[in-house]
């Protein structure tokens, strides 16, 4: 009984100290809450995406490649913390506790007077700013464990120094519950506003300067949750331009059946990404979306090769491992799927996924009832050619060269690919199937209207079906001019007026020629 009472007293004592700290040091509490909100609502999807590029398990053999790296133990600790972002509220809680402790320890070691105590929050806020500024460079082509490993290392160093000062020095430390003794009312109010505004300023900066990173991560999350309509709406609501965003927008439209209605409702004047490849050159970000797009285009073997190549360079990744499990299930390779499932099951918070697909391997009827996997299986190629026979990226190049479609979705993708590549003769060949049905999808009708206005004989075989050629004539008059750059920038300013109109993409969908282009070797022989 006494033991139980002492235990309750201990728990109450912890809560009392915590409540006392909140009352005595409200600026630290506000900083803690604002960092937590930033990590959940502003950058939660990005940190979760970073987790997908990482992998952590308590099995030393699975983590041997990371242990063998310089500072491997540090990266292991960072990956363990990053693993918590399977639930952003949980990862954000751990991250905010860590940064708040770092801030307090800096203030305690420096013995900052009340009017200078705002300085202790600058290192943590600066670190958040660096993470946001780096964008995809923070985890795509580098060790993802550094995101949490660096603050974890800093916290350990400061804790050791704090213990040394507390044990062997006569200097007194400013404990959190003692903060109010030397703070005036004005100073306390300033510190509270400062602790709240610093993470808010980082969130505003991220929303403006790195909106493409946040949106790409959000689209990936919606893809994992199979929320295709919401995924498409999020991409269309954004006013920027990015290759990964356009790729995931098209992927969502393939899955919700609106590819030929809404494909060009996003901008295609792609801006360079904040991403540097392993060769030190600017990357167009194809490594982010290529495997996903190949997989959902039915090119399972090519997607498998994409992930195996990335795994060779970067080691095991959570998202790659999940895709490889699905590849094995689609190809009927049950033993391989079970091996991958075992590896993934070693990582915390993956029970739901592993249980679902383990049941699917053991019971083929569950695989037959899975709508998404069955739709991907229906799109698998009916032709057997080497990848080198097609233009890059393959999920576009294959459908440009496809001769026989296995389903209506595959034919829609082939039609959209010919429009995206501006191959109008090939497009007219694909469009003949819709003419026989007596109705053209929106994008197909707009493209045929543009062709009819330029050459009526080119579409004479489509009979008396309505083609909106008059709108194209008006469009051509609006953007008539001899100065190419002036017309281009005028068109971009009027983008919202021609949202989803194919002729606008046909003439102004190329990247801005004034911007730095990506590596020519990667682009040569491919589709923009």
Tell me which of 119-133, 292-306, 512-526 is least confident.
512-526
Please report how many Cα atoms fall inside a 13 Å half-sphere around the Cα of residue 302, on the Cβ side.
Answer: 25
Q: Identify the pLDDT of residue 169.
A: 65
119 versus 308: the higher-pLDDT residue is 308
Task: For residue 462, give every residue at least 6 positions away whose Cβ sits within 8 Å of its Cβ, in sequence order, or none.
Answer: 431, 432, 435, 448
∠ Cα 23 24 29 (to 5°): 65
Per-residue pLDDT at 487: 80
- Residues 240-274 have pLDDT tens digits of 889 999 999 999 999 999 999 999 999 898 888 88
DSSP E strands, 281-381: none
pLDDT top residue among 440 and 50: 50
pLDDT score for 177: 45
Question: What's the burial of 195, exposed, middle or buried (CB within 10 Å: 0-12/13-18/19+)?
Answer: buried
What are the tens digits of pLDDT across the range 349-393? 999 999 999 999 999 889 999 999 999 999 999 888 888 888 889
For Cα atoms 290, 294, 298, give the angle at the middle one, nearest 5 degrees: 170
Distances (CA, A) of 414 to 379, 410, 433, 448: 11, 6, 12, 16
Residue 173: pLDDT over 60? no
Q: Is the model's pLDDT at 516 over the cut of 50?
A: no
- Per-residue pLDDT, averaged over 283-293, amounts to 93
Q: Which tokens is 249 given?
A: 């927008």
Model confidence at 419, pLDDT cuts 50, 70, 90, reads very high
- Residue 43 neighbours by CB under 8 Å, 6+ apart: 131, 132, 203, 206, 214
> How many Å apart are CA 99 and CA 31, to the nearest integer?
9
Lowest mean pLDDT among 151-160, 185-194, 255-264: 185-194
Q: Does residue 20 surpass a pLDDT of 60?
A: no
Lowest mean pLDDT among 392-401, 403-412, 455-464, 501-510: 455-464
| Residue 468 reports pLDDT greater than 80 | no
Q: How far is CA 238 from CA 43, 212, 256, in A?
A: 17, 9, 19
- pLDDT (0 to 100) of residue 97: 93
Alpha-carbon distance values, 51 to 87, 146, 319 (Å): 10, 12, 9
Pull the structure tokens for residue 263: 């494909």
Report the alpha-carbon distance of residue 396 to residue 299 in Å, rounded.
11
* Reported confidence tier of residue 476, pLDDT bands at 50, 70, 90: confident
Q: What was the pLDDT predicted at 15?
A: 54
pLDDT range class, residue 342, cuts 50, 70, 90: very high
CA dist., res. 306 & res. 319, Å (int): 12
Q: Residue 23: pLDDT band by 50, 70, 90 thresholds?
A: low
Nearest C-alpha neighbor of 24 from the set 161, 155, 179: 179
**Interatomic CA distance for residues 47 and 214, integer angstroms:** 10
Mean pLDDT score, 163-185 = 62
Residue 175 has pLDDT above 70, yes or no: no
pLDDT of residue 151: 96
pLDDT for position 480: 76
pLDDT of residue 383: 81
Q: Please compute the mean of the pLDDT values over residues 414-435 and round it to a whole number.
A: 92
| Cβ pair 105, 156 in contact under 8 A | no
pLDDT per residue over 4-13, tens digit each? 444 445 556 5
Report residue 426 as tokens.
């090939």
pLDDT tens, position by position, 94-152 = 999 999 999 988 888 887 777 787 888 999 999 999 999 999 999 999 999 999 999 99
Share of the chain above pLDDT 90, in %: 56
pLDDT reported for residue 492: 76
Tens-digit pLDDT profile for residues 192-239: 788 888 999 999 999 999 999 999 999 999 999 999 999 999 999 998
Give dist(CA 155, CA 101) in Å, integer.
7
Q: What backbone torsions phi and psi does residue 282 show, to the nearest 5 degrees?
A: -60, 135
**Contact indicator for 54, 83 with CB cutoff of 8 Å:** yes
Taking residues 479-504, report their average pLDDT. 79
Please report the pLDDT score of residue 458 as a whole number: 75
Q: What is the pLDDT of residue 176?
A: 52
Whether 109 and 165 have beta carbons less than 8 Å apart is answered as yes
Pairwise CA distance, residues 521 & 309, whole Å: 19
| 237-262 burial code (b ≥16 CB/10 A, e <16) | ebeebbbbbbbbbbbbbbbbebbbbb
Residue 196 has a pLDDT of 82
Q: pLDDT band at residue 482, thresholds of 50, 70 and 90?
A: low
Mean pLDDT of the chain: 86
By C-alpha distance, which of 470, 429, 425, 462 is closest to 446? 470
> In this predicted structure, what is the pLDDT of residue 90?
96
pTM of the complete model: 0.90
């Amino acid at each position: 009984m006494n033991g139980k009472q002492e235990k309750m007293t201990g728990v109450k004592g912890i809560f009392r100290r915590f409540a006392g700290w909140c009352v005595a040091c409200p600026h630290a509490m506000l900083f803690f809450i604002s960092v937590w909100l930033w990590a959940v609502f502003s950058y939660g999807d990005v940190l979760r995406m970073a987790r997908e590029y990482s992998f952590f398990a308590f099995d030393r053999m699975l983590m041997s490649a990371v242990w063998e790296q310089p500072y491997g133990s540090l990266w292991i600790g960072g990956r363990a913390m990053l693993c918590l972002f399977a639930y952003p509220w949980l990862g954000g809680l751990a991250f905010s506790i860590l940064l708040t402790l770092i801030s307090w320890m800096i203030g305690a070691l420096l013995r900052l007077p009340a009017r200078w105590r705002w300085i202790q929050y600058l290192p943590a806020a600066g670190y958040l700013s660096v993470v946001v500024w780096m964008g995809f460079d923070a985890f795509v082509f580098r060790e993802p464990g550094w995101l949490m490993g660096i603050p974890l290392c800093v916290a350990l160093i400061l804790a050791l120094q704090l213990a040394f000062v507390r044990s062997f020095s006569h200097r007194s430390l400013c404990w959190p519950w003692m903060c109010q003794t030397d703070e005036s009312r004005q100073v306390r109010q300033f510190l509270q506003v400062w602790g709240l505004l610093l993470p808010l300023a980082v969130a505003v900066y991220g929303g403006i300067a790195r909106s493409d990173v946040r949106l790409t991560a959000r689209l990936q999350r919606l893809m994992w949750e199979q929320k295709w309509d919401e995924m498409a709406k999020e991409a269309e609501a954004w006013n920027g331009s990015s290759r990964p965003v356009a790729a995931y927008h098209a992927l969502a439209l393939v899955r919700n059946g609106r590819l030929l209605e809404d494909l060009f409702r996003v901008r295609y004047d792609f801006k360079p990404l904040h991403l540097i490849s392993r060769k030190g050159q600017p990357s167009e970000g194809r490594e982010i979306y290529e495997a996903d797009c190949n997989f959902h285009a039915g090119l399972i073997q090519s997607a498998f090769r994409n992930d195996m190549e990335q795994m060779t360079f970067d080691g095991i990744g959570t998202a790659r491992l999940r895709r490889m499990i699905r590849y094995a299930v689609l190809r009927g390779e049950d033993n391989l799927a079970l091996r991958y499932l075992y590896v993934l099951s070693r990582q915390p918070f993956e029970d739901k996924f592993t249980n679902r697909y383990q049941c699917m391997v053991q019971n083929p009827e569950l695989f037959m009832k899975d709508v998404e996997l069955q739709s991907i299986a229906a799109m698998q190629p009916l032709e057997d050619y080497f990848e080198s026979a097609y233009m890059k990226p393959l999920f576009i190049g294959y459908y440009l060269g496809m001769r026989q479609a296995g389903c209506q979705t595959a034919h829609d993708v082939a039609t959209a690919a010919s429009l995206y590549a501006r191959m109008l003769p090939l497009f007219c060949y694909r469009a003949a199937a819709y003419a026989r049905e007596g109705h053209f999808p929106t994008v197909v009708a707009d493209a045929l209207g543009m062709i009819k206005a330029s050459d009526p004989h080119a579409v004479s075989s489509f009979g008396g079906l309505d083609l909106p050629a008059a709108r194209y004539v008006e469009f051509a008059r609006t953007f008539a001019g001899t100065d190419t750059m002036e017309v281009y920038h005028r068109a971009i300013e009027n983008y919202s007026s021609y949202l989803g109109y194919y002729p606008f993409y046909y003439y102004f969908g190329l990247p801005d020629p004034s911007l730095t282009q990506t590596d020519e070797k990667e682009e040569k022989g491919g589709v923009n």
